Structures are given as C-alpha cells and as structure tokens.
Amino acid sequence: MAARLLRTTTPIGGRFARTAVLSQAIAADDRATSPERATAHGLAAAAYDAEGDHDAALEQVKLCLSWCIASATLLPVALLPRSARERLLHHATETKMLQPLASALHLSVAELLARCAALGQCFPDTGVLVDLTKREGFVLHMLDSGLPQTEIAAQLNVSVSTLKKQTGSIYRKLGVGSRREALHIAHVHGLIDGIQAAQATQSGQRR
C-alpha cells in the first residue's frame, strides 16, 4: 500500500497537498502496518516540507519516527526517496528522536546516520501522481490496444467526440499531448498493469 504510493507519487510529482492527503489516509487506515504508517508519515513530511510548512513537516517526522521506534525498524526511512530521507533526518535532529530510534535499533546515533548515508534508493526522486477515473483507466487500456479512435468509440458505445474529450482529460492528467506519449508514461509508471489487474479482479468477482 505505502510502496504503491511511493511508486506512483515520488517525489510527490509536484502535487504536494494531494500527496499529504493520500499519505495521511494510509496512516489512518486500520489495515496499515506500523512500517506502512511510518512510510506514509515520512512522505507527508516531505510534502509539507516542499510546501514550506515547517511545523506540519516536523509533526509528520515525529509520527514517522515514533512508528519506526515502535517497530524497531529503519525500513520506512530507507524506502523514502533520497531527497525526502535527507530532509527527514535533518528535521529529526530538531525532534530529539534520533537517539530513541538509534537505541531501538541497538545503534549509536553516529552509526544510524552512517547507515542512512550509505543507503541506496528504492524509489526515484521524480515521478507522477495520476488520478484517473475508472472510465479513463478503461479508455487508456483501449488506447493501448492499438485500435483507431473510431473503433474504440464503437466498442465503448460512445461518439468519437466523446472519446476525444475522455482522451483529452487523460492527456492533461498525464501531462502529455499525444497517444504515443500517454502510453509511454502509462507503461513506465505501471498504469496499464494496474488497470489490467483491476479489470481481472472485477471479472473474477462477477463469476
């Protein structure tokens, strides 16, 4: 859940307020694990930091580190994009929570910071945040089929002008101007795979 958010939003795709909302929704979800909550709070901290809301960022850092301490794990911090991780650790010095986190991991603060500095990067520092409707997702899937717009419109039982409006909305959300660019972005960020998986799940539920 948190990992999926990281794959599709890092580093928030310029949509900081939306990322903060999504992150806190995950953190408040009863099904979320402690590491997932910590990761979500870490992303929210990065979003608030990018917006210049220092106090809100610090509060999210405290929540992130509290869950890390409770779980005795550094994984949520490691999962963050490098830039977000560095900012979180910078803010962590203000919260006086580095020592409790290091103690929970049986490390000194110096060892903790050294490990963080040596970490690689699981997720990129750039990405997109795309909020496609279910209908737009289906249209995107049809666009990937290679069929011309007239045939896609016929299969969807809509006019070509309606289909053009729907594809135009998809292009705007993806920040592109053509079908080729839209499909490239969709495949790079796994949007097509996600749509196909959702359709397969729905098909299985109807049987």
- Which residue has better confidence, 150 or 1? 150
Q: Which residue has the tokens 């005795």?
A: 72
Contacts of 44 (CB under 8 A, 6+ apart): 19, 20, 23, 24, 27, 60
Residues of the chain with CATH 1.10.10.10: 134-206
pLDDT over 90, % of the chain: 34
Q: Per-residue pLDDT tens for 66-79?
A: 999 999 999 888 88
Most confident of 48-52, 69-73, 114-118: 69-73
Phi-psi region of 187 (alpha: psi -120 to 50; beta: other; left: phi over 0): alpha
Decide if pLDDT at 154 tops 90.
yes
Give the phi and the psi of residue 88 in degrees, each rounded to 5.
Answer: -60, -45
Q: Which of 49, 51, 24, 53 has its CA nearest to residue 39?
A: 24
pLDDT at residue 108 above 90? Answer: yes
Residues 38-67, mean pLDDT to the nearest whole number:
88
A 10 A CB-CB count for 23 gives 28
| Confidence class for position 30, pLDDT limits 50, 70, 90 | confident
Q: Which residues contact 68 (CB under 8 A, 6 or more apart)?
A: 35, 38, 74, 76, 77, 101, 104
The secondary structure of the chain in percent helix, strand, coil, rounded to multiples of 5, reads 75, 0, 25
Greater confidence (118 vs 104) lies with: 104
Q: Does domain 134-206 have CATH number 1.10.10.10?
A: yes
As a whole number of angstroms, the distance between CA 141 and CA 99 comes to 49
